Structure 1
Amino acid sequence: MDISVIVPLKNEEESLPELAAWIARVMQDNNFSYDIWMIDDGSTDRSWEVIRELSDANHHIKGIKFQRNYGKSAALNEGFRQAQGDVIITMDADLQDSPDEIPELYRMIITDKYDLVSGWKKKRYDNAVTKNLPSKLYNYATTRMSGIKLHDMNCGLKSYNRKVVKCIEVYGEMHRYIPVLAKWSGFRRIGEKVVEHRARKYGVSKFGLERFINGFLDLASIMFIGKFGKRPMHFFGALGFLFFFIGFVIAGYLAFAKLAFDQYKMTERPIFFLALLAMIIGSQLFLTGFIGELVTRNAPERNNYLIEEQIG
């Protein structure tokens, strides 16, 4: 199969028929073999009923319905599991991403040999405060921290070599930093393409001002996981050793001063309590590292989600 299209969605009943028809038209015009996976992330409208109707009319359309809302990352991850195409295309369901971009995104993976191609919405129609400003801030911060030079890290329109989606896990809110996850998994050929961004035709945006906070937390998490996810002891152990060593040196100095000069009682000097605190914190960080190692080695099923129903 040439292409698998993954469409995560929540409460997009109005846009789904138009999106499905548009994708199908592009695929037929280019003679692509394809399937479309629509992942219903706990919709409360008629989205799932619409997906059923679309699947009945077009056998290329398949669907997964989550029992409750898990988030976009969970929807993408489940779509990645199901996708069988040589090239995987992800796009949002709100018609702001144009399916007409699919042929070129496919070509860049197959012909230009990119592992991942991210769309760049150079001209945007989003709210400047709730979406554009957070995106610019976190794109800049992520570029500086990860070394991946993309203008629009969080663009929903992306294409992937199949090997990429089978080698990465997307959970929590990590969908914003999939290129970083791909890089940490060893995929270095990451490209970018300017794509059309359309004004929203139906519904309302599902994102708000919480992107300011969540974006920073996601970035901190992804950088930590990328470097220390498989070896948490290297991070917590190093910090623990540093704190414990500082506390031990201070305590040793106080003990020497007491024995050599007998001027003060150790417990009467404020620095004694600083040394004690540093050694306690160091010990706790060591224990945190050990616990992190245990969790890392015993959590093979951290990406399981309750699926109420599946088509195809």
Structure 2
Amino acid sequence: MILLKVRAKSENIQYIETILFLAPISDNPALDKVNQLTSNTDDATINSVLSQAVDVLDKDSIIQNEIAQNLREIVSNSQDIDDDDFSMRFQPYVVRFNNPSLIFSGLYSAFLMVKNNSKFVGVNIVGNEAHPIALRDYKLHMKMFRFLKQRFPNVKLSLHAGELTLGQVTPEELSYHINDAVNVAEANRIGHGVDIMHESNPYQLINTLLNKNILVEINLTSNEALLGVQGNDHPVRLYMQYGVPIAISTDDPGVSRNNLTDEYLKFVTRYKPSYDKLKEIVSNSIKYSFLTEDEKTKQIDLLNKKFIFFEDTIASFVKKHSHVKK
């Protein structure tokens, strides 16, 4: 965590929401009924089986102890991270190609962690969307999120969805991932959103993103490296054109060895936003974060001071070197 903080501050980053901790999972045999569920199982059966699973997990001392231990360790290890100009929060996550009972028990743990400690601000699901199990169970996973969201309505969701492209999966598999993350799981933010124009009704979905004020996290390096999507093939211009809020993020710098500075450099050089638009996108990282409103106000005030300092510094530099031929 200290290394993350040092790197972040070296890039002038003041707030991070990091997907750093895998939520505890349970292999309790009493959860086996969950493994019989499929994406085609009717909603009533899914809700009944998941309700029984929650009853099992509520009484399972092993998973409850693991959740409590995770909370204690992470809170202890992060207690000296926040300072006057930097804050870090966490999103526990599950991996989408596990079997259903492991994923559901992990989601249960993640929701509880967010409910019980303010250091944990949202839940995520990660992993290759094109994985056979991820494709098979995608709709089931979204219904699991919906079920738990109804029980824990204050828990926020930032879901990787639409990280797919033609040639990677069948056209049919491109038609519903973002929609289900938004309209079934009720995600508050979407990560990637690359296949938006392959959705069954993309314009209606764009309207939904606007009406629900859902931000899309843009991951240029990741989408270029893993999907081969870049330049005009990337939907970032589409999102900006129709006013869908976006933020620039790194996705997985531990794998790609990128950083946020380079992501912004790619964004600015490829898509040439105005300076005001760029400031808006930077501010979105705070505005659409899962911080409390008081915390957001503090972070926005800090960000505005940094904007003023940057603008004054650049103006002074340009004035000092006004003799330089352009």
Do they superpose with TM above 0.5? Answer: no
* Structure number with higher helix proportion: 2
Give the structure-1-normalised TM-score: 0.25
Select the structure of larger CA radius of gyration.
1
Give the structure-2-normalised TM-score: 0.25
